[in-house]
Amino acid sequence: MALTGVLRPGYIQIRVLDMSEAIVHYRDRLGLTEVSTGSDGRVYLKGWDEFDRHSVILREADEAGMDVMGFKVLDDATLNELTAKLEAYNVVVDHVEAGEQPGVGRRVGFTIPSGHRMELFAQMEKSDDGPQVVNPNVWQSEPRGMAVTRFDHALLYGPAIDEVTDLFCDVLGFRVAERADLGGAHAVWLTCSNKAHDIAFVPNPDPGSFHHAAFYLENVNDVVHAGDVMAYHDIPIDVGPTRHGITRGHTIYFFDPCGNRNEVFAGGYTYYPDNPTREWTTEQLGKGIFYYERELNDAFLSVYT
């Protein structure tokens, strides 16, 4: 098996202002499956095409945004190896006991220079409602709403993105699939897998800021269908349907009821570790982000949680 180390984004914990409204949005509109509610009120959900028990955690709070993004690593030995590499890189790590999230093994947490909390984990229980493994149908239960298949990636805003990039690449084994020159700073799209990106960072003075969580759809027809769902339910749309030059994905950006930006995303090229980094210049960045419009909009740049 070639894919080792950090495998993929495993979960994202999103802060919401009203849990009831958030559940309707993420369960009924996006189409995630509601898995459980913890004794502390956190609600756990998953995409219909995900094997693990959850990938999205909602926490009711006074302020929207992202608490943490967790990456699943190959196995427990890998978790130990990466912990040692982080400590050798002078990253302060903390340890979260198994069971703090239901069905999840021990986790190793750390704050990156952009101010975001990241975690690594190796073990999560499999879902009872995951993809079938014997004579599998294409889905176990017919998907609802926008029919998102999985939590795919996040784009985060914060300072010190070059340092963040070095940490992700030198310590965690990510590669820079695409990079945009912003005149002295860089936005980066990083991958740990065959995907065009698993996480992306854009420079911004506000530490720990959350631009969007993206959910994968099977094809561009599903992106258009998701737009229909948004219109029917009066979900505020930020941009789209359109396409990214960066990653080549078809996309719509929209907002959850408390202002967190979501994305539905389909396509994107297959990345291999020997691919060169695709580079974008400042004057072509509009085309990189919004390939059809070829210009950025103010809301995309200035609205985040």
Catalytic annotation, pick one of 212, 250, 271, 304: 212
User: Known catalytic residue: 304?
Assistant: no
Q: Which residue is nearest to Fe ion (CB)?
A: 214
Shortest Å, Cβ 204 to Fe ion: 15
Q: Does 256 bind Fe ion (CB under 5 A)?
A: no
Residue 248, phi-psi category: left (phi > 0), alpha (psi -120 to 50), beta (remainder): left
Catalytic annotation, pick one of 54, 116, 186, 197: 197
- Give the x/- contact pattern for Fe ion in 148-177, rule: CB under 5 A: -------x----------------------
Alpha helices (H) along 129-173: 161-170
In sign, the C-alpha dihedral spanning 172, 204, 296, 285 is negative
User: Known catalytic residue: 54?
Assistant: no
| Helix or strand holding residue 20 (H, E) | helix 19-23
Catalytic annotation, pick one of 116, 186, 244, 250: 244
Amino acid code (one letter) for 90: N
Q: Measured from the CB atom, is 6 or 199 closer to Fe ion?
A: 199
**Three-class SS of residue 141?**
coil
User: Known catalytic residue: 283?
Assistant: no
The count of chain residues that interact with Fe ion, using the rule CB under 5 A, is 3
Shortest Å, Cβ 241 to Fe ion: 14
Q: Measured from the CB atom, is 79 or 217 closer to Fe ion?
A: 217
Distance CA 184, CA 207 (A): 18
Catalytic annotation, pick one of 25, 116, 153, 211: 153
User: Known catalytic residue: 95?
Assistant: no
Q: Measured from the CB atom, is 6 or 213 closer to Fe ion?
A: 213
Distance CA 146, CA 28 (A): 8
Closest CA to 54 of 18, 8, 103: 103
Chosen residue from 68, 167, 172, 214 binding Fe ion by CB under 5 A: 214
Q: Which stretch binds Fe ion (CB under 5 A): 124-132, 172-180, 258-266, 296-304?
A: 258-266
Q: Measured from the CB atom, is 104 or 214 closer to Fe ion?
A: 214
Shortest Å, Cβ 264 to Fe ion: 10
Q: Does 263 bind Fe ion (CB under 5 A)?
A: yes
Query: In which order are the strands placed within the sheet that holds 209-216?
Result: 237-243, 249-255, 261-267, 209-216, 150-158, 199-203, 186-191, 175-181, 278-280
Distance CA 225, CA 146 (A): 7
Closest CA to 265 of 252, 275, 247: 252
Q: Measured from the CB atom, is 53 or 197 closer to Fe ion?
A: 197
Quickly tell me which residue has 């930006």 as its tokens: 261
Structure tokens belonging to residue 209: 């800021």
Catalytic annotation, pick one of 11, 263, 271, 304: 263
User: Known catalytic residue: 233?
Assistant: no
User: Known catalytic residue: 153?
Assistant: yes
Catalytic annotation, pick one of 44, 157, 253, 271: 253
Residues that bind Fe ion (CB under 5 A): 155, 214, 263
| Catalytic residue ranges | 153, 197, 212, 244, 253, 263
